[in-house]
Amino acid sequence: MSVTVYEPDVLVANGVVTPRGRLAVDAAGRVVATPPGAAAIRLEGKALLPGLVNAHSHAFQRVIRGRAEHLARGKSADDFWSWRETMYAAATALDPDGVELASRQAFVEMALAGVTAVGEFHYVHHQSDGTPYSDVHELARRVVKAARDVGLRIRLLRVAYARAGFQVAANPRQRRFLDPDAATALERTASLRRALQGDGLVSVGLAPHSVRAVPREWLEAFGASKEEVVHLHVAEQPAEIAACLTEHGRRPVELLADTGLLKRGTTLVHAIHLEDRERSLVGRSGAGVCACPTTEANLGDGVVAADALLAEGVPLSLGSDSHATIGLLEEARRLEEHLRLVRGRRAVLDPGDGEPHGLSARLFDFASRGGARALGLPGGSLAVGDPADFFTVALPPGLTAPLEAAVFGHAAVRDVAVEGRFLVRDGVHPLAAPTAIAFSQLVSRLQP
């Protein structure tokens, strides 16, 4: 079987940094042991690293980037909840072609930033009046098609959404998101999985939107289900905690523990406003946390206490969420930098082992292996037997350490491959230019 061998200036594989290391990829797109004496394709001036995994994305939200960064006329303050109305307006306006195009734009930008796999937290399911499409999976299929046209691996996390909130009047702008009951939500997740069978780079998971958007019976049904990859928004805003205490007499993480959802395979997105005992509960359960620092900063959510979570043994991953910007390496850097601002010191997440690249390696791991773990996907480390999902960066002048170059050095992404096949070569994705033109036209039609 034919094997392709790459030889960058520096290879990062299986947690080891090797100058002039070699990565061998077989015809099936797997990492294999380098055959002795094999000729290598030299990647001069580049470092080669495991592909980045974006564990939390709402691709369509790309259409509102830069359009909600001001106070509405007559308002003296803006917050998450008013931003959400802008986002709902976009969610209401997009037809299936628009959803696919906005998703393609977001996914192209991810590929250009070194992302090889994405977890798409997908909640726009139905027509604008809430009626399901003749194929109930129409929009999910469009999002998956966009990811596969770009070349990304995708876990479609199908969202279950029941209501506006506890004792909150129905919001007509949420009509496109709703399932009638938990059994239907589970059945639709299973039927979507069947519908997407056949492409090994596509998989499906379950995403109860939040403890605000589904009642306790739904959480219990999901906790008792066989769904193995479950993602939820948890404790993003203080109002959610207050509502949860009013409705259930306990905090969100406690409610998840009570309903069988706090376990290995579950990822809590954000998990910002937690108490110490909730972090201990998460740590003991095997569940993970996905931080989205650029979105959390943009929305004024707060800072994920990654240091306290790591002390409890909680595995971390990262997401670009609202796509205010798209770059997993920026998310990794800002996870650390937000904590520097809050704690008033440097190298907060350094593992403390005296290794000069310990902090960079740890942050990079959240952006690669941590994301793969959160999405239940293979790889993230380029070990022998893993899929050859990787990217290269141009080493900036004066910086030869690849992990520092990637996380703190603003190194430019040059090439991106999934299962050994290149989506991006020398900074170019073939769909980038045509998608940008069509996407610009879409956004100007939506918001003239």
As a whole number of angstroms, the distance between CA 364 and CA 316 comes to: 11
Task: Find the Cα–Cα–Cα–Cα dihedral 279, 282, 283, 289, rounded to 10°.
Answer: -90
**Shortest Cβ distance from residue 121 to Zn ion (Å)?**
5
Stretch that binds Zn ion, among 75-83, 168-176, 313-321, 341-349 (CB under 5 A): 313-321
Residue closer to Zn ion, measured from CB, 301 or 321: 321
Min dist CB 58 to Zn ion, Å, is: 6
Region binding Zn ion by CB under 5 A among candidate stretches 35-43, 162-170, 320-328, 358-366: 320-328
Q: Which residues pair with 317 in a beta bridge?
A: 290
Identity of the residue, 120 or 321, whose beta carbon is nearer to Zn ion in the bound complex: 321
Q: Is residue 301 at the binding interface for Zn ion, with CB under 5 A as the rule?
A: no
Report the residue number, 80 or 166, with the smaller CB distance to Zn ion. 80
Backbone angles phi, psi at 36, to 5 degrees: -60, 135
Residue whose C-beta lies closest to Zn ion: 321
> Catalytic one among 58, 231, 270, 273?
270
CA distance 205 to 267: 11
Taking the least distance from each CB to Zn ion, the nearer of 296 and 321 is 321
Q: b/e for 220-241, b at 16 or more Cβ within 10 A?
A: ebbbebebebbbbbbbbbeebb
Range 350-409, binding Zn ion (CB under 5 A): none
CB of 284 to Zn ion, least distance (A): 25
Which residue is catalytic, options 321, 386, 389, 415?
321
In the three-class reduction of DSSP (H, G, I as helix; E, B as strand; rest coil), residue 129 is classed as: coil
CB 402 within 8 A of CB 50: no
Q: How many positions of this chain bind Zn ion (CB under 5 A)? A: 1
Given the rule CB under 5 A, which of 87-95, 147-155, 316-324, 360-368 is the region that contacts Zn ion?
A: 316-324
Question: What 8-state DSSP symbol labels residue 61?
Answer: G
Residue 321 C-beta: closest distance to Zn ion, Å: 5
What single-letter DSSP state applies at residue 425?
B
Using CA atoms, how far apart are residues 284 and 278, in angstroms rounded to an integer?
10
Q: Centre a 10 Å sphere on the Cβ of residue 376 and count the other Cβ atoms it contains.
A: 15
The tokens for 441 are 């036209």
Q: Which two tokens stand for residue 306?
A: 């990654």
Please say which residue, 140 or 411, places its beta carbon nearer to Zn ion: 140
Burial class (CB in 10 A: 0-12, 13-18, 19+), 415: buried
State yes or no: is 149 an active-site residue: no
Instruction: Give me the least distance between CB of 175 and Zn ion, in Å please.
Output: 19
Q: Which is nearer to Zn ion, 321 or 386 (CB)?
A: 321
**3-class SS at 157?**
strand
Is residue 353 part of the annotated active site? The answer reads no
Query: Using the rule CB under 5 A, which residue among 109, 240, 278, 321 binds Zn ion?
Result: 321
The region of 87-95, 98-106, 319-327, 400-408 touching Zn ion under the rule CB under 5 A is 319-327
Query: Which positions are annotated as active-site residues?
Result: 270, 321
Q: Which residues bind Zn ion (CB under 5 A)?
A: 321
